[in-house]
A and B are shown apart, each in its own frame.
Chain A
Amino acid sequence: DAKTTQPPSMDCAEGRAANLPCNHSTISGNEYVYWYRQIHSQGPQYIIHGLKNNETNEMASLIITEDRKSSTLILPHATLRDTAVYYCIVRPSTGTASKLTFGTGTRLQVTL
């Protein structure tokens, strides 16, 4: 699985957009980019995933660069409840079962 690089921490003011970057320069053509977040002492929560195109759902938007070597997760209007560790993961789009390789993620602190 490709390795991802994320900043260890970020701050964001409540109500502003939180833009969380991820570098995955060794990603293969058949690998998805997935984002999860983990609030302290809870299980990881799935946010969004994409292959090539930008994606949007009720939680966030995912912007993937044209060369697919990096991506950005956007929380359009961050709230205090968005304070969590955010994980960017790449995972093959083929195969019946594969592990998710979680790194240390980005700790997002949303402040008043």
Chain B
Amino acid sequence: DGGITQSPKYLFRKEGQNVTLSCEQNLNHDAMYWYRQDPGQGLRLIYYSQIVNDFQKGDIAEGYSVSREKKESFPLTVTSAQKNPTAFYLCASSLIRGGVQETQYFGPGTRLLVL
């Protein structure tokens, strides 16, 4: 079954704790993205990666870190430096063909709650 998977569906974080959100895709997509969504608002880009071992900051990268060691995986770590981490986190991926990004497809999301 092809697609983008995110785990866990719900995640609880204690104060001062780092947590890692998983994103895996078996679509052979080149680019992967992390967005954050707050209640009643649109999505904001955290980080994105076009190729393995390379990634760029988005609009709200502070307090987050990523890695791209494999094409199919793009985990996001929410560090203790992120002071307001409670949100819905969405991973997306897309092909890059002929140097052009194609349609982004989204995973089901992870809801992070701070205890």
Kindly report which residue of chain B lies nearest to residue A36, judged by CB atoms: B106
With contacts defined as CB atoms under 8 Å apart, how many contacts are there between chain A and chain B in the complex? 63
B109 contacts partner chain A, Cβ-Cβ < 8 Å = yes
A residues in contact (CB < 8 Å) with B: 34, 36, 41-46, 49, 87, 93-105
Contact partners of B4 in chain A: CB under 8 A: 43
Q: In the bound complex, do residue A43 and residue B33 qualify as a contact, i.e. CB atoms below 8 Å apart?
A: no
Bound CA–CA A99/B104 (angstroms): 9
Contact partners of B59 in chain A: CB under 8 A: 99
Bound CA–CA A93/B96 (angstroms): 11
Bound CA–CA A87/B109 (angstroms): 17
Q: In the bound complex, do residue B100 and residue A44 qualify as a contact, i.e. CB atoms below 8 Å apart?
A: no
> Among A43, A94, A101, which residue has the most Cβ atoms of chain B within 10 A?
A43
Q: In the bound complex, do residue A93 and residue B106 qualify as a contact, i.e. CB atoms below 8 Å apart?
A: no
Contact partners of B92 in chain A: CB under 8 A: 43, 100
Q: In the bound complex, do residue A98 and residue B108 qualify as a contact, i.e. CB atoms below 8 Å apart?
A: no
B residues in contact (CB < 8 Å) with A: 4, 6, 31, 33, 35, 40-43, 45, 48, 50, 56, 58-59, 88, 90, 92, 94, 96, 99-101, 103-109, 111
A89: shortest Cβ distance to chain B, in Å? 9
Bound CA–CA A101/B103 (angstroms): 13
Question: When A and B form their complex, which 4 residue pairs have the shortest distance between CB atoms, in order from nearest?
Answer: A102-B42, A43-B106, A99-B45, A102-B43
B74: shortest Cβ distance to chain A, in Å? 12
Q: In the bound complex, do residue B101 and residue A96 qualify as a contact, i.e. CB atoms below 8 Å apart?
A: yes
Q: In the bound complex, do residue A42 and residue B108 qualify as a contact, i.e. CB atoms below 8 Å apart?
A: yes
- Contact flag A96-B48 (CB < 8 Å), given A44-B106, A104-B40, A104-B41: no
Contact partners of B88 in chain A: CB under 8 A: 41
Bound CA–CA A73/B41 (angstroms): 21
20 chain-A/chain-B pairs, Cβ below 8 angstroms = A41-B88, A43-B6, A43-B92, A43-B109, A45-B106, A46-B105, A46-B106, A93-B100, A95-B100, A96-B100, A97-B48, A97-B101, A98-B101, A99-B35, A99-B59, A100-B45, A101-B42, A104-B40, A104-B41, A105-B42
A5: shortest Cβ distance to chain B, in Å? 13
- Contact flag A43-B40 (CB < 8 Å), given A94-B100, A96-B50: no
